[in-house]
Amino acid sequence: MSFTLAIVGRPNVGKSTLFNRLVGKRLALVDDQPGVTRDLREGEARLGDLRFTVIDTAGLEEATDDSLQGRMRRLTERAVEMADICLFLVDGRAGITAADQGFADILRRKNAHVILGVNKAEGRAGEDGALEAWSLGLGEPLRLSAEHGEGMDDLYRVLVPLSDEFEARASDYAPVTDVDVSEEETDEDAVPVPTRAKPLQIAVIGRPNAGKSTLINRIIGEDRLLTGPEAGITRDAISVAADWQGTPIRIFDTAGMRKRAKVVDKLEKLSVSDGLRAVRFAEVVVVLLDVEIPFEQQDLRIADFAETEGRAVVIAVNKWDLVEDRQEKLRELKEQFDRSLPQLRGAPLVTVSAATGRGLDRLHDAIISAYQVWNRRITTAKLNQWLGAMTEAHPPPAPGGRRIRLRYMTQVKTRPPGFVLMCSHPDQLPESYRRYLVNGLRDSFDMPGTPIRLTLRSQSDKNPYRAKKKSTPSRLRKHVGKPIKT
């Protein structure tokens, strides 16, 4: 990456639409209502032969207090300071407002390289706004249409002279990119070690106001994500790259997930969908609970979704600093966990305090442990030795008087561990016996908590050559059925 470009401007001028246009994917949420974007979202942008980091910011508000709008403004101003170039976007159809004039003065003081872009300038409707933009004193305005891709060649010509100036700085800047990360299967016995090129993917999910953004800020050591007492602040699934106790990670902050019946707003539906997408990209999912109301129905649904998607799961209970009788509370939490989530039996349960940072070392160790189990591979020889002992201790049932025979087992994949069991009459093997085998795998090979996929396949006892008729030699075919002369 040669430089970083921050897109700033008033709410609803098309910043997120332009961001999606530059990165080539619909990463940022886009809606007609203003103020959709609240956090800083970074992505890998491509424009011609230019490669750079683009930052989508919250709409600049005139509030400067500690309200939500004021905190959003401070976060945007921080992006302006850290960016090499600022693209100040105005609405060509709405014209230049007093707020645009004030923000232009701020940008001149905070950033040396400011590009003025007039969005929604396609056709005659945007001509007046483009001419009026000269009054901001930021040089020649670029007429753009983020929705239709117009004006991208003009933006390219402006950025090319600036790219060489910042190319040397790019080697020292580690960008945080929101890119689709697909699972990669490995046939090696060794657990892959996270690197800067392939960091450990972690998603933090939970109900609204559980403290997800606060926890991630504490992990990365800076106020990178917008936080506050209001529930539902986070809307986009924002990923942040960091080095956590020597482990390169990319951690996803997601929107709070309420019960489906309560989600009626279109924007909230988009936010939840974006969070579910982050879970599918993650390797380890941290289900964050509120210690005051843990293991409610929605928490169980969220944890079950992570297990269904085949992710390594860690249960973290936040706001532990508010608990007085901690030993009794911890015992109660473990009982609730074992009773409510049997499909995640043995998964790590960690108590943390995002406000004070207590328990983050235990959370790190639990995530690494869950990741290693998620990548574990068992040799076929050990599996079949174990299978013999399991069937000897508890033979499979005999429906209709014919016992189901378990032939052999092998592991076909990791992430999560997947096994194939060859047997007779797989469709008649009861679910209880399948659970018996899965729980045995967890206990015998130290795989607590991780999802285990067990597939049954049929193997016939029949001789494949028994049904074939022996062919008669051609020299004897004319004598078949006739008496033999002696």
Residues 6+ apart with CB under 8 A from 35: 11, 12, 58, 59
45 known member of a binding site: no
Residues whose CB falls within 8 Å of the CB of residue 407, separated by 6 or more in sequence, listed in order = 421, 422, 423, 424, 459
Answer left, alpha or beta for residue 446, where phi above 0 means left and psi between -120 and 50 means alpha.
Answer: left
Determine whether the annotation assigns residue 253 to a binding site: yes
Residue 412 is labelled as binding a ligand: no
Q: Is 59 annotated as a binding residue?
A: yes
State the residue for tokens 């929101």.
Answer: 178
Q: Is 120 annotated as a binding residue?
A: yes
Judge whether 318 is annotated as a binding position.
Answer: yes
d(CA 92, CA 465): 79
Q: Cα(57)–Cα(51) distance, rounded to whole angstroms?
A: 19
Contact present, 396 and 404 (Cβ < 8 Å): yes
Which burial class, exposed, middle or buried, applies to 384 when counting CB atoms under 10 A from its CB (0-12, 13-18, 19+)? middle
430 carries a ligand binding annotation: no
Q: Is 391 annotated as a binding residue?
A: no
Half-sphere exposure for 190 (CA within 13 Å, toward CB):
3
Does residue 12 have a known ligand-binding role? yes
Instruction: Judge whether 111 is annotated as a binding position.
Output: no
Both tokens of 121, joined, read: 């300038």
121 is in an annotated binding site: yes
- The verdict on whether residue 11 carries a ligand-binding annotation is yes
Q: Is 320 marked within a binding site?
A: yes
Report which DSSP code applies to 171: T
According to the annotation, is 342 in a ligand binding site? no
For 146-207, list the strands marked E by DSSP: 200-206
Judge whether 319 is annotated as a binding position. Answer: yes
Token digits for 341? 């989530």
Q: Is 291 annotated as a binding residue?
A: no
Q: What angle do CA 19, 23, 24 make, to 5 degrees?
A: 110
Q: Is 232 annotated as a binding residue?
A: no
Closest CA to 311 of 373, 396, 404: 373
CB distance 120 to 145 below 8 Å: yes
- Was 15 annotated as part of a binding site? yes
Q: Is the CB of residue 65 less than 8 Å from the CB of residue 52?
A: no
| Strand, helix or coil for residue 281 | helix
SS3 119: strand
204 assigned ligand-binding residue: no
Residue 57 marked in a binding site: yes
Identify whether the C-beta of residue 92 lies closer than 8 Å to the C-beta of residue 129: yes
- Residue 58 marked as a ligand binder: yes
**Is 461 annotated as ligand-binding?**
no
Sign of CA dihedral 307, 311, 316, 317: negative
Q: Is 122 annotated as ligand-binding?
A: yes
Q: What is the largest CA-CA distance in the chain?
A: 122
Asked whether residue 110 is marked as a ligand-binding residue, the answer is no
Residue matched to tokens 């941290």: 286
The annotation status of 256 as a binding-site residue, yes or no, is yes
**Is 212 assigned a ligand-binding role in the annotation?**
yes
Sign of CA dihedral 292, 296, 298, 304: positive
418 is in an annotated binding site: no
Has 358 been labeled as part of a binding site?
no
375 is in an annotated binding site: no
Residue 416, annotated as binding a ligand: no
Q: Which residues are annotated as a binding site?
A: 9-16, 56-60, 119-122, 206-213, 253-257, 318-321
Q: Residues forming the annotated binding site for GTP?
A: 9-16, 56-60, 119-122, 206-213, 253-257, 318-321
